[in-house]
């Protein structure tokens, strides 16, 4: 009986992780869309482009960590770190497949930025007060 409860809890945690990562990727997409609109108006260098993509990833990681911890209402730091790690892994894998490298900042610096932003989002999400919109 206990193992079934743990399995259900593990499945719920995985679903929360996946749903919050999707929200984070949506935020990354919106940031990149906004940045690309801005870049059509002004000319930017490659270093500025790298900063903008990293900022978009950080915003998405924050949103993902926030949503995960708002849904769980506990373990915000851990959930934020897990979401950040998952999102970094997917972004790193996709950039390596399509671009041939994970250009811009070094992958370790980008990992640290992603984990810090997602963890902060997780902590803020657990400690925020509000409606039941994100609860299960």
- pLDDT per residue over 108-117, tens digit each? 888 899 999 9
Average pLDDT, the chain: 84
More confident position, 93 or 63: 63
What is the CB neighbour count within 10 angstroms for residue 25?
18
Q: What pLDDT, on the 0 to 100 scale, is given for residue 4?
A: 47
d(CA 11, CA 104): 35
Name the pLDDT band for 94 (thresholds 50, 70, 90).
confident
What is the CB neighbour count within 10 angstroms for residue 30?
14
In this prediction, residues 8-26 reach a mean pLDDT of: 87
pLDDT of residue 101 exceeding 90, the answer is no
Pair 60, 28: CB distance under 8 Å = yes
């Amino acid at each position: 009986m206990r193992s079934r409860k743990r399995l259900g809890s593990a499945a719920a945690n995985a679903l929360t992780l996946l749903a919050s990562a999707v929200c984070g990727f949506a935020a990354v997409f919106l940031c990149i869309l906004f940045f690309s609109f801005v870049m059509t108006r002004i000319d930017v260098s490659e270093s500025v482009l790298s900063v903008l993509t990293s900022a978009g990833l950080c915003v998405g990681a924050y949103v993902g960590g926030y949503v995960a911890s708002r849904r769980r209402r506990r373990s915000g730091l851990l959930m934020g770190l897990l979401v950040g790690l998952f999102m970094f892994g997917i972004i790193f894998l996709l950039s390596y497949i399509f671009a041939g490298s994970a250009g811009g900042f070094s992958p370790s610096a980008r990992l640290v930025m992603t984990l810090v932003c997602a963890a902060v989002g997780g902590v803020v999400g657990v400690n925020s007060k509000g409606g039941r919109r994100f609860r299960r």
